[in-house]
Structure 1
Amino acid sequence: MARFVVVGAGIVGLATAYRITQDYPDAQVTVLEKEPRVAVHQTGHNSGVIHAGVYYKPGSLKATLCRAGSKSMVDFCAEHGIPVQVCGKLIVATEQSELPRLHALHERAVANGLPVRLIGPAEAAEYEPHLSCVEALHVASTGIVDFTAVCTTLAALAEKAGAEVRFGARVTGFALRGGEQVVETTAGDVLADVLINCAGLHADRVARLAGVDPPARIIPFRGEYYELREDRRDLVRGLIYPVPDPQFPFLGVHLTRMIDGSVHAGPNAVLALAREGYTWGRVSPRDIADYAVYSGLWRLARKHLGYGLTEVRRSLSPKRFAHSLARLVPEVTEADLVRTAAGVRAQAIAPDGALVDDFLIVARDRQVHVLNAPSPAATSSLEIAKHIVSRVEGVSRGR
């Protein structure tokens, strides 16, 4: 009987554990999670958007897995009674200078096989009456869901199929004993024939503990959110995004109607002072020391210092944040915003300072390490799980 150990009970780890129970029904599957519940970090702090796959390079893992994942996620939610809505979204050019980027995005979306249309201001106003734009891209297949609810269901399904989810089990090391791979944790040791690392913000550290030298370093970027006051939610019907700058993996501050009816605004993107640095006050000297000596971060900073300073100023000024939103919906003011929980994105950066713009999954022996899985990883999670399990070699499938 093969023993699979999955590190991390975020959406990718749980989707992978569930997939293993389906593909290897005779296997022993253990999920190790350092927190007391599922989806505590990236999964539980995202915007709840099921992305269509507009932004990603055709043929990349992000493009192929996101397109398939947007459908499989909606189907999964429908099958298991999780509230989900395919509401579509608008990507908006607010001035003429943005039109070339919007049109390039349209071409990329068409190349990715997505149902998209360029529309003018009058038609855009039919979707979003308070919107300001010169042109917009309508993306019909974008949806919204509560990904924490998806995780809860995945954990229950995996456990029903025989998997074990261990909470309070932080991985502290790996060892070989008698030829067997041992995962050492704060909750005891676990034997693993196959190790799958889905540790998110700590995935590169787990990989190094397991003897793998990651080709990139995870750097945490905090995304801060506001939400519209309840009496101002009528300003936004669905999802409104700006045209993104293709130099960066961040989509710019946007307006998102959540599955519970609230409207979130954000996120920005500022360097966090801890891997789990959800506020400016959360500081980890160890984490800062870890990436302060990393050449890739300094090379990134030299290339994009102006962008980074703009994001910091927006972080510190609700007025600036509101101004960014008012480019999309002019009626939004600072008084309409209420600060809400932030998230932290685990962004892999290469030694040359390049932002890794695709999913990065490294397989070695009987280990698979997911080393870059930011957005749209939640959307793509069921498909990422299939891809991960397909990388596992030399394990017999049960009947």
Structure 2
Amino acid sequence: MRKIIHVDMDCYFAAVEMRDFPELRDKAIAVGGRSDRRGVISTCNYAARKFGVRSAMSSYQALKLCPHLVLVPGRMQVYKDVSQQIRQIFNRYSDVIEPLSLDEAFLDVSDCQQYHGSATLIAQAIRRDIELETGLTASAGVAPIKFLAKIASDLNKPNGQYVITPDEIPEFVRTLPLKKIPGVGKVTAQKLSVLGLETCADVQLYPKAKLLESFGKFGAVLIERSNGIDPRPISNNRVRKSVGVETTLAQDIFTLAQCHQVLPQLIQELDSRVSRSAKDRLINKQVVKIKFNDFKQTTIEQRSDEISVKLFYELLQQALTRSNERGIRLIGVSVGLAETGEKKLQTESVAQLDLQF
């Protein structure tokens, strides 16, 4: 049995701001853009969450729920620097680390000899070191498999931990709501509910063939998770799957011509990001994303082995056919990255193109 720890920082961006600016500690705060500029909440502290404020919510909506909310502009470089400090702490206990983001990571401590190899004590030590050295708190989940470690880290937040031993897996999984399983979003949860599937115990009793027919490959994953199976190892080499850029508009726009005014700068920035972070990767698709003023969004994608400016314009036009006269509040462009291949991207030189179609 492996010993896996999932460490998740508590309201990370907001916690860094409260640490650096003590006057914010007793206030409801959120890191995000201004409400008059279509800002979106990145994260918020627990005082704000009591009012229903959540990540990815518009700043405008957040202020409606919590009028005294303090909006704090993000300081991404600071968050990255602190994340590196935390990563150095992880390295003391394991060299098998899988970062998921700046504020969370999996660690495989199966071979760690510290604290007599006790994953529970190692998790406590990691959390203690983080608090002593950064002034921030973290929560942790300990389990023999990845998805349960991730679920466990959320059960005693903030500043706590939860341990699932091998013997406890069958009973823990039996009562686990399916919506708690990573990968089961709102849409999938609704589909499962229609079939009468609410917990892992329900899936255990449901015909496997029907699940596979309804959910394909994810049906197989669901069967495994519902039976407490997750063979995935901790991966030190997470491969980036896409590069993208998007902008939230100051005011709604409605026409293709208005979208054409926004697109060139997005494509230029995308090309720059690809050159910096994925210059030796092959692309396999291009994607255009639009979010409407009712906060519903649509994406259009097409396979492509090179960045084509013309294709982005074509995808944008297709996406706009779904607007139904709704205003547009956000436009994004991205490319998917192939999992294998070291060939350098054969991209058009965006700087030399006439982007005003």
Q: TM-score, normalised by structure 2?
A: 0.28
In proportion to residue count, which structure has more helix? 2
Q: TM-score, normalised by structure 1?
A: 0.25
